[in-house]
Homo-oligomer: A and B are copies of this chain.
Amino acid sequence: MNNNVNSLYVLSAMNRSGYRTTTTRRKIIDAIFSLGNSFTVDDLIQNLPDLGRATIFRNVKVLKDLQIICQVFLDNGQSVYQLDFELNLESHHHHLICSKCKCIQEFNSKELESLLQSVSEAMSFEINTHRLELYGHCSSCKASEPVEVSVSDR
């Protein structure tokens, strides 16, 4: 893996935006890369026990502001973050979120965008942004699907 290179890239991007390059930031960014596809702030806190929580929160906020990571909301409202510059440096996109392994795939679709545009025009609504999240099972989890068991709660 060339996560080292990636970390350096992120650090320099932050630097260009006026943020200093610190060991702590390096550790946080390394951790984000090592966590792979998606992560929560708590993942970072767990993986970086020697850093203060406040620092982690502050840096996650910076990374989000710089659009280096993006925030994705899970089905239950919980939010996870994801590196936003691997697949798309500039482009708008959506997420396919696996409810089982929590992996996140991205996609975008011109068709979709124009469809949304026409829907909103029909309702004379002016879209600024939108968020679309698909929840389900990714290909590998789908393959290892056990027999369905239904549990009623309450």
Contacts and interface: CB of A to CB of B under 8 A. Distances in A.
Interface residues of A, number: 37
B134 A120 contact: yes
Contacts of A130: 132-135
Max chain B C-beta neighbours (<10 A), residue from A96, A109, A111: A96
A123 B136 contact: no
Among A111, A125, A127, max chain B CB count under 10 A is at A125
Interface in A106-125: 107, 109, 111-112, 115-116, 119-120, 123-125
Interface stretch (A8-16, A31-39, A71-79): A71-79
Contact of A124 (B107, B120, B142, B154): B142
A119 B125 contact: no
Given A73-B77, A115-B112, A132-B131, A137 B142 contact: no
Interface of A: 65, 71, 73, 75, 77, 79, 96, 98-99, 105, 107, 109, 111-112, 115-116, 119-120, 123-139, 142, 154
Contact of A129 (B115, B120, B135, B154): B135
16 contacts: A73-B73, A96-B123, A99-B128, A111-B115, A120-B136, A123-B139, A124-B142, A125-B139, A127-B134, A127-B136, A128-B136, A129-B134, A130-B132, A131-B135, A132-B132, A132-B133
